[in-house]
Structure 1
Amino acid sequence: MNKRYGYNTIFPQVSASAVLLLALSLSTGTALANLDADEASRMTQLLAMDLNELVNMEVSIATGTAKPLKLAPAIATVITAEDIKKMGATTLEEALATVPGLHVSQSNTLGMMIYSIRGLHTTLSSQVLFQINGLPIKYNYTSIVSHDLRIPMTTISRIEVIRGPGSAVHGADAFAGTINIITKKGAEIDGTQTNLRYGSFDTKSGGIQHGGIYNEWDLMTSFDYYKTNGDHDRIIERDLQTTLDTIMGTSASLTPGSTADETEHYDLRLTATKENWSLNLWGSIAENQHVVGVSPVLDTEGYEERSIYQADLAYTNNTLLDNLELDARLSYLYQYSDSFCRIFPPGVLLPVGADGNLLTAPTAGLVLFSDGVFGQPIIEEEQTAVDLSGRYNGIDNHKVRLGAGGRHITEKTDNYKNFGPGVLDPATLLAPPAINVIDGNLTHLTSDSPYIFMNNHSRTIVYASLQDEWSFAKKWELTAGIRYDHYSDFGSTTNPRAALVWETTDTITSKLLYGKAFRPPSFGEFYLINNPVALGNPDLKPETIETYELVFDLQPRKNIHYVFNAFYYQAEDLIELANDPAPAITLSSQNIRNQKGHGFEFEATWQATKNLRLRGNVAHQRAKDKQTGEIVPNAPAWQLYANAHWQFIPDWSLDGQYFLIAERHRAAGDSRAEIKNNDIVNLTLRRTNIAGHWEATLSGRNVFDEDIREPTPSTIANDLPMPGRNIWAELAYRF
């Protein structure tokens, strides 16, 4: 078997450049040290905020303009850098798991992360918009965030989360929710910080950050490294190949066997801000990233190598004209993915159709793949965007925001494989019951080949938006907005929103919210061909949703805060993989499901004493298929989170977390036992201010070693096992 490697040749140059850039930044920073004390104290003030100050923290994700959290015309959650540190979260998923109604799961397909909000998710796509510093970050081939987006948590200033539609402000994919990851500025770091971490599964990581104010420049640079061998006790007992072995009389399945989830990551960030200008540069590289599998078959050989590079230049001017604030941003996003997938194991016997594809009818011959079935799709994606906005405050009691912009996305493909048309000639195959044998040598298919998994494609988007925040009476505000998006490949969509916010009393804020949102089909959902796992469909329509929400935000005392909301939504034309008409036995993307859902979320925070904070939330949803009335599978009907943070003596703290994920239903026709509830306990012990510079942390995740499972198709009999108990220790130094 020959493998094609094109990625490793560029990485040594990238990593060397990253280290050199970091060294230059640090040496320059030391030479220019001239720190503005007021700016440098911002992070210290944030960490010292009491509950009342946190409730009134300003967020911009809801409207594009800064507004206190409790008055934001949306259901918003903010996770601060201090929250992240207290809970011991080392991944984005660990932090997001604390948000009411948001469940983070993992798919058996390439280990993709599934972000389910209020029961809204589909098999291979995400109904959640991810942003980094306000810029969309997603993999347009599948319409998901990169499946292992490992942003170093030490570089995050805060995470803003909106549950509910946001397309009137943010456009595509802000369907079930929006997550904006805001990274630290130099003033927040105010010096140099380093950390080293080691833990279970031979997991090791380290990083260095430097930041400050130098000659009126806010500068920040960071470099982080992460590597793990993964939990080899994650055992798959049976898979699709087990079933095929029974049918075909073979013994190719590798089950029982462990999932392969080794990975190695590098992350580099540089930001520079002065007066009206801001520059952000970011690079993320994943090497030797082993994956669960691209099909419901255990894959112990597959891997993915991925790189993400993002650059943006922003300009803000609040003084050019009276009562007018202008923002402009030019951005570029590059993503490269090289996935080597063993779709079926050595010794698999599969029917090949007359068109040369696997598993299509009529059958031209039976093929024994002696080394296995291999595919190596390579995707290069580029996205260039311009975003403009203006906020006008010259009309009494009104804040008007206008936005316009566009983006151009290109997908370029390459492919190596040992199956399918262009590789297998059905005319040369011996007819059944004779068996043809194919080895693991891969054939190169270029992007212009009719036999590749997807040809090159592009997409151009233009948009315009209008929003007005109208304070029409004392303590009453109505926010209304609308956005128009035009896509070159499927047409146009218009999405309105309205929000009524009433400061009912000094301690109660009430909100009534409405919004409409959409998710466009991904490139893969549109254009995928010659694929044994999934096929595209050029006739797809965008998914749409309408949501209604009622919110009560209560702070009866300075140290107690409650938020309750109830919601109802109707989603149309959700895209799922569905069986193609007989005699074909393939799956293709189809607008096959309409869904409605309702539920509630309740969260509470109590600063019991100066040194003890208790918080928690409970979320319930009931989502059903509108046609069949069946409960939407795999999404938890109940979620419970409880957290206690105790500073039991000066400089020592203990943080405990409890998660309950309950009542997940199987899909119709799936006769397996109900999905097991998940009970997870995490503990984090931290010692700060060691000799004035050091900090030590010891953390345990899933400390009772519960058998945690995430749902899979019935072809993987006992669902996908998640990591067992894991413990890590960290030492950090600041100077």
Structure 2
Amino acid sequence: MMHKKLSFLALTSTIWTAAVMADGNNQFTDGDEFADFYGQDELVSIATGTSTPISKAPSVASVISSKQIEAMGATHLDEVLERIPGLHVMRSDLSRLDPVYSVRGIQTGFNPQILVLLNGTEIKQLVTGGLATTFRMPVNNISRIEVIRGPGSAVYGADAYSGVINIITKSVDENLNGSFGIRAGRFGSSDVWAQKGYQNDDFAVSFSFENLRTDGDDSRIVERDLQTINDTVFGTNASQAPGSLNTQQDITNLHLDFEFSNWRLENWYWEQDHGGLGQGGAQALDNIGYQDANQFLTKLSYKTDLGETFRIETDLSFLRTDIDTHFVLFPAGAALPIGSDGNAFSSPSAGVVRFPDGYIGKPRSISETTKYELAGLYTGFSEHQIRIASGWTYNQAETAELKNFGPGVIDGTEGSVDGTLTNVAGTKDIYLQDQERTAYFVSIQDQWQLNNDWSFTGGLRWDHFSDFGSTINPRLALVWETSHDLTTKLLYGEAFRAPSFSEQHLINNPSALGNPDLHPEEIETFELAFDYRPTFETDLKLSLYSYKATDLIATVAEGSTLKYQNARNQDGYGAELEFDWRATKQLTLFANYAYQHSEDSDTGMAVPDAPKHSTYLDLQYRLNQNWSSSLQHYWIGNRTRNSGDSRDKVDDYHWVNAKLTRSFDNKRLKFSIMVKNLFDTDAREPSSASIPGDYPLEGRSVIGELRYKF
């Protein structure tokens, strides 16, 4: 409680002091490196599909530029997103400590409720509906990140539920002056990157290479896991706990983009090589298993003007995601109760089986999405900007599996089973049969400038899916320039989240079974937002929201098994306060505070794990032309447990990062020292009761970085 009061008082005191001190005399010159992201009304396209000043955008939106990302010392996407008020990056309790982008209290283990885009194209995989497992995105080729909190299905369709994140990569212009860099630090971490662009008349090409590696922090110790419980029950000594979370990563990130006249061809390749499995696939530590994953995206786009009042944009894209995992779900020496179907802990039980080499599974999935979209923007009607779009999507997923358990492999009477794996691909005994889905949509949106002070945006999108039918999602936004320094927005929107292939069709899995009768999750959101800019150097934003989420998909017990059902509803409300202040030519400050209350509509119980309160503070200080520094602090507070979980509430934590940079040769060469988790805080993200001590985050690390532009 004391930490919460101190953090809130510190933030409000900072904002109040800044508001009193701010005046019109602290202006930056055009050449200042901070001027492009403090005190100016940036354009944002994520809210409408067209470029709109962020203060007038019909959504609660945020933009983070490449210069901000560099100044923060962020090395991957998750670190950047903590800057967004109302968004907290949790760790999945279901999927190998994968990032879960909790927005306004809405999250689940596979994170399907938020839409993640790369240059406007979705990059999520089809089996779980989330990002590729063990996903981590390097940031050196990111130009800007646009985020909206709240529904976006009227523009983007499925899964733009709690929000949308659009990662925009650097253009050819931004990479014309090439650059490369290297960083290294604790935990065996090393990153290298290089970018270069070339342009000649109507032709241009841009290339980026990034590699991010880490051995992981072996001091992230788990004292007890699920196998600890099994050892007690069955008299074995197989658990690897106490032991460290398996968090090594080796990520390669490539971009190759071509531009010719009105055409653009984008190519992206991302690969995870032998990534660690975090807490293990079954809440039992696994220091043998690993994750291989790769994604390839290619997109051909064309834009042209037909006269002075009509613009056409069209694109054709193909995304392939290949995930290949080696699980040692329970370690060598484990003894497990095996059901007659060959799965652990299933009913009826056929006997206790020992696994001297471990309980091993090797599932693989290949997801492919082909998408075509056509959009037209018409400005021929006075004070109207009308956008009409239509598109088609084809999704398919192919699966394979090897294992030493389950139907078609064992039946629980064996007594002991070694590590020999049986290939069940193409049989009824696989965890998921091959699946496909076709969808198409039509949408219309009108941005109407009612008069000098008032604008109205109305939009409607109809989506049809071959497996569960149709859905219609509207959005309405009224934006009022209340005065020369205040903008007020009243927003309403609806959104949906499509059930994933796993939720619909999972079979032969003791943890859960699919349900082909599922229908989409839906949400209805009201927002009231204020953007107050009393001076050119000061920007104060306040967003108030309320939502009602229905038909949320969860597992429900049916006899001795769990099955996915549209099982619950959720209500939420909250507030988000942001403050930007350019105090002097040397000092800038960004701060925010977010409050959210979310509860189960039927029971009134608080939604577990999501922070009720959070704050963020970013100080940028330039000592002189050659020296600059930054400090980030965020606080995560007041997280509750699941109903029935007798553990104490999840501990609050403070997290501090710092960076010091020395520039040479007119800022072409930069050397930086960064410290992550400056005070070596014992910070933890919530876990299930199978790992009772929660998931420890990384300890303090010191990183050296060298950047050069040529």
Q: Mark yes or no: TM-score above 0.5.
A: yes
Equivalence for 2:97: 111
Q: Distance in 1 between matches of 2:537 and 2:33?
A: 16
What SS does the corresponding residue of 1:609 show, helix, strand or coil?
coil
Query: Does 155-164 or 265-274 show the bigger shift?
Result: 265-274
Number of positions where the alignment pairs a residue of Structure 1 with one of Structure 2: 679
| RMSD between superposed Cα atoms in Å | 1.5
| Among 433, 453, 456, the residue aligned to 1:475 | 453
Q: Distance in 1 between matches of 2:478 and 2:407?
A: 57
Q: Does residue 383 of the first structure (1) align with residue 362 of the second (2)?
A: no
| Among 335, 344, 347, the residue aligned to 1:358 | 344
Q: Are the equivalent residues in 2 in contact too, given 1:51–1:558 (CA < 8 A)? A: no
1:154-165 to structure 2, matched below 5 A, reads: 154-165=140-151
How far apart are residue 537 of structure 1 and its match?
A: 1.8
How far apart are residue 275 of structure 1 and its match?
A: 2.6
Q: Are the equivalent residues in 2 in contact too, given 1:51–1:559 (CA < 8 A)? A: no
With over 3 angstroms needed to count, the CA separation of the structure-2 counterparts of 1:494 and 1:245, relative to structure 1, is: same
Q: Deviations over 1:27-56 (max 9, x none)?
A: xxxxxxxxxxxxxxxxx97945356663x2
Q: Distance in 2 between matches of 1:532 and 1:726?
A: 40
Equivalence for 1:91: 76
With over 3 angstroms needed to count, the CA separation of the structure-2 counterparts of 1:701 and 1:175, relative to structure 1, is: same
Q: Distance in 2 between matches of 1:593 and 1:123?
A: 16
Q: Are the equivalent residues in 2 in contact too, given 1:130–1:179 (CA < 8 A)? A: yes
Q: Given residue 216 of structure 2, which amino acid in structure 1 is its aligned partner?
A: G
Equivalence for 2:283: 296
Equivalence for 2:50: 65
Q: Given residue 154 of structure 1, which amino acid in structure 2 is its aligned partner?
A: N
Q: Distance in 2 between matches of 1:692 and 1:380?
A: 44
Q: Given residue 468 of structure 1, which amino acid in structure 2 is its aligned partner?
A: D
Q: Given residue 58 of structure 1, which amino acid in structure 2 is its aligned partner?
A: L
Q: Are the equivalent residues in 1 in contact too, given 2:133–2:323 (CA < 8 A)? A: no
Q: Given residue 302 of structure 1, which amino acid in structure 2 is its aligned partner?
A: G
What SS does the corresponding residue of 1:296 show, helix, strand or coil?
coil
What SS does the corresponding residue of 1:503 show, helix, strand or coil?
strand
What SS does the corresponding residue of 1:424 show, helix, strand or coil?
coil
Q: Does residue 368 of the first structure (1) align with residue 348 of the second (2)?
A: no
Q: Does residue 487 of the first structure (1) align with residue 465 of the second (2)?
A: yes
Q: Distance in 2 between matches of 1:663 and 1:214?
A: 56
1:564-713 to structure 2, matched below 5 A, reads: 564-578=542-556, 580-582=557-559, 584=560, 586-690=561-665, 693-713=668-688
Q: Distance in 1 between matches of 2:332 and 2:563?
A: 26
Normalization by structure 2: what TM-score?
0.94
Query: Does 186-195 or 632-641 show the bigger shift?
Result: 186-195
Equivalence for 1:30: none
Q: Distance in 2 between matches of 1:617 and 1:257?
A: 37
Equivalence for 1:232: 218
Equivalence for 1:547: 525
Q: Are the equivalent residues in 2 in contact too, given 1:115–1:126 (CA < 8 A)? A: no
Q: Does residue 453 of the first structure (1) align with residue 431 of the second (2)?
A: yes
How far apart are residue 494 of structure 1 and its match?
A: 0.7
Q: Does residue 247 of the first structure (1) align with residue 233 of the second (2)?
A: yes
Q: Given residue 524 of structure 1, which amino acid in structure 2 is its aligned partner?
A: S
What SS does the corresponding residue of 1:168 show, helix, strand or coil?
helix
Q: Does residue 102 of the first structure (1) align with residue 81 of the second (2)?
A: no
Q: Distance in 2 between matches of 1:216 and 1:370?
A: 64
Q: Are the equivalent residues in 2 in contact too, given 1:122–1:576 (CA < 8 A)? A: no
How far apart are residue 268 of structure 1 and its match?
A: 1.3
Identity across the alignment (%): 41
How far apart are residue 189 of structure 1 and its match?
A: 2.1
Q: Are the equivalent residues in 1 in contact too, given 2:39–2:580 (CA < 8 A)? A: no
Equivalence for 1:314: 301
With over 3 angstroms needed to count, the CA separation of the structure-2 counterparts of 1:333 and 1:477, relative to structure 1, is: same
Q: Does residue 557 of the first structure (1) align with residue 512 of the second (2)?
A: no
Q: Are the equivalent residues in 1 in contact too, given 2:659–2:672 (CA < 8 A)? A: yes
Q: Does residue 410 of the first structure (1) align with residue 396 of the second (2)?
A: yes
Runs of 4 or more above 6 Å deviation: none
Q: Are the equivalent residues in 2 in contact too, given 1:644–1:657 (CA < 8 A)? A: yes
Equivalence for 1:516: 494
Q: Deviations over 1:220-257 (max 9, x none)?
A: 10111121111000101111111222222322211110
What SS does the corresponding residue of 1:150 show, helix, strand or coil?
coil
Q: Are the equivalent residues in 2 in contact too, given 1:603–1:615 (CA < 8 A)? A: yes
Q: Are the equivalent residues in 2 in contact too, given 1:403–1:464 (CA < 8 A)? A: yes
Q: Does residue 440 of the first structure (1) align with residue 424 of the second (2)?
A: no
Equivalence for 2:35: 49
Equivalence for 1:716: 691
Query: Does 351-360 or 520-529 show the bigger shift?
Result: 351-360
Q: Given residue 484 of structure 1, which amino acid in structure 2 is its aligned partner?
A: W
What SS does the corresponding residue of 1:71 show, helix, strand or coil?
coil
Q: Does residue 172 of the first structure (1) align with residue 150 of the second (2)?
A: no
Q: Distance in 2 between matches of 1:672 and 1:48?
A: 46
Q: Deviations over 1:467-515 (max 9, x none)?
A: 1111122211110001111111111111110000011111000000000
With over 3 angstroms needed to count, the CA separation of the structure-2 counterparts of 1:74 and 1:337, relative to structure 1, is: same
Q: Distance in 1 between matches of 2:597 and 2:585?
A: 39
Q: Distance in 2 between matches of 1:204 and 1:397?
A: 53
Q: Are the equivalent residues in 2 in contact too, given 1:63–1:169 (CA < 8 A)? A: yes
With over 3 angstroms needed to count, the CA separation of the structure-2 counterparts of 1:264 and 1:419, relative to structure 1, is: same
Q: Deviations over 1:651-689 (max 9, x none)?
A: 211100111000000010000111010110100111123
**Which runs of no fewer than 5 residues in structure 2 stay unpaired?**
1-29
Q: Distance in 2 between matches of 1:633 and 1:642?
A: 25
With over 3 angstroms needed to count, the CA separation of the structure-2 counterparts of 1:692 and 1:676, relative to structure 1, is: closer
With over 3 angstroms needed to count, the CA separation of the structure-2 counterparts of 1:413 and 1:50, relative to structure 1, is: closer
Q: Given residue 606 of structure 1, which amino acid in structure 2 is its aligned partner?
A: W
Q: Distance in 2 between matches of 1:151 and 1:211?
A: 21
How far apart are residue 216 of structure 1 and its match?
A: 2.9
Q: Given residue 294 of structure 2, which amino acid in structure 1 is its aligned partner?
A: S
